[in-house]
Amino acid sequence: MADGNLPAVGEASFEAHTIAPFDNRDFVTSLTEEVGRGDTDHPAAEDDNPHAVIFFSMPAHAGLDWIRELNIAFRQRTCGRTSVSDDILYMPASELVGRYRDRSLSPVDVTRATLDRISAIDEKTNAYVVVDAESAMEAARASEKRWRDGKPMGLVDGVPCSVKDLVLANGWPTLFGSKTTDPDQAWDADAPCVARLREHGAVILGKTTTPEFGWKGVTDSAVSGITRNPWNLEKTPGGSSGGAGAAVAAGMCHLAIGTDGGGSIRIPSGFSGTFGLKPSFGRVPAWPAGRFGTLGHVGPMTRTVEDAALMLTVISQPDPRDWTALPYDPRDYRDGLDRGLEGLRVAFTRDLGYADVDSEISEIATRAAESFSYLGAEIVHASPRFEDPKVAFRTLWWAGAANGLRGLTDRQMKLVEPDLADMVEEGRKIPLLDYIAADHERAVLGELMMEFHQTYDLLLTPSLAVAAFKVRTFSPRETDDPKWITWSPFTYPFNMTKQPAASVPCGFTADGLPVGLQIVGPMFADHLVLRASHAYQRGFPLTDRRPPI
């Protein structure tokens, strides 16, 4: 890779690329012969991904019309394939591993079923930008042999996983949702979390969609089109890990890597009815350094809390490339999950003192929080009472955008989404003293929360102020600016404080859309956030609810 292992930039020669769930090269050849090559021009991306099936070996100059025809031909060939029980697709990873061990299930069967699921429904959700079926099936066969020989590689051997397309994965372009990224370079490095998953035998299916450079709370881009919520295809799954949230919710992977710079794990988890954890900053090593500085976290997105604990145990293992990483804690995060909430003092606030929350969301989150008393905790209506830190966060985020994109030429900046380009321009104008003041406010907020947790073990809030809203919009609120939203007021403060925070499903609106409860713990207390989330999910399970897709 160019420039000290950072991806080089340049005008992308293609827009999105997905690999069909087949590893038969004759099949690939025959489809290619059927549809021909098409022209080499690339029209602008449409609203939805118009080419959800593209073989990875496809040359970058292949035309979009050719891609569309290949997509149609693939579906005509595969529409009669036998489906596998949805139970396999929604089975917890921890149970999958047990079934591999007793040989009642095979990684090959589970991977094939998951790839078939992607082929069947991802043209609707557009959760993936890359799916490498050949590599996935090869990994599944190797895993099957290890289990047969009684020599599994690690904790997630044979479990299908996805990786957000902001995170490097060896062998696949990481486009960052941007036409400015040049795909024609050596993609020969794994980010730490991806390397750990491979070392533990995971079957990595491909890359999930993201908005450009992960800059906003919905998932669409000129590269991949619009990603949709499997609970209602007219709604957004949120962002910026929207592809991961949609994939997990719809049974298109069992474990997913997400990133979170202002809510980008918890937003899609809340909108998609899945579990997501933003760990303590540095708990999961990250490399290369994030474009938005120390606001960004890497974490697990799953259907069950136990699976997130399993995944965190793997991806939190050390990597020497991250100088900001915490000292390695060798614990298994599944240990102690069943301890319950007895003796914990838990605070709940509907609005943090400043948020405008839709009444239905507030009522559902309040009922969920008050149910903690039935689980043994003392629940208190209390708030940290800090003012909305949006000005400080905006300063840090805008400056991060300007820094992250400063290597782009004027020509490349013309390819950047206009609102992001405006943000970059505004970020360039932020005075140094304003940036230092924002960083100081961040420190004060962190100190306030440390003091708050001397009294309360955990803080509960709604995950979001609204339910999922229509695609093609930034916000359901007309007064919101495209570069600032009021519907996610609970997430970004805890990126600033670096604390662990999770979103756990806690109910559904009258329209059948998921609602999440945010659980925030003291810095470094990832195990406590997981324990509380598990206690709630076990006491009030919603994991049997599946999207109507």
Verify whether residue 470 is a known catalytic residue: no
Return the beta strands (E) in 212-267 as ranges.
220-221, 225-226, 255-260
Q: Which helix (H) or strand (E) holds 194?
A: helix 192-199
Question: Catalytic pick from 119, 221, 224, 240?
Answer: 240
What is the Cα–Cα distance from 17 to 223, expressed in whole angstroms?
A: 9
Verify whether residue 106 is a known catalytic residue: no
CB 391 within 8 A of CB 382: no
The torsion angles phi and psi of 338, rounded to 5 degrees, stand at: -90, 10
Reference 203, options 241, 166, 152, 250; nearest CA is: 152
DSSP code at position 375 = G
Question: Catalytic pick from 264, 269, 475, 533?
Answer: 264
Task: Please name the residues in contact with 217: beta carbons below 8 A apart, sequence gap of 6 or more.
Answer: 238, 239, 240, 262, 263, 264, 267, 474, 485, 487, 488
Q: Which helix (H) or strand (E) holds 442?
A: helix 432-452
What is the Cα–Cα distance from 390 to 489, expressed in whole angstroms?
A: 9
Name the one residue in this structure whose structure tokens are 């145990």: 313
What is the Cα–Cα distance from 265 to 243, expressed in whole angstroms?
A: 11
Lookup: tokens for 102: 């007793």
DSSP code at position 349 = -
What is the Cα–Cα distance from 182 to 302, expressed in whole angstroms?
A: 31
Verify whether residue 240 is a known catalytic residue: yes
Lookup: tokens for 128: 């993936």
Question: Catalytic pick from 164, 207, 235, 278?
Answer: 164
Lookup: tokens for 432: 């140094």
> Helix, strand, or coil here: 65?
helix
What is the Cα–Cα distance from 450 to 333, expressed in whole angstroms?
A: 23
Lookup: tokens for 512: 């059948």
**Catalytic residue set:** 164, 240, 264
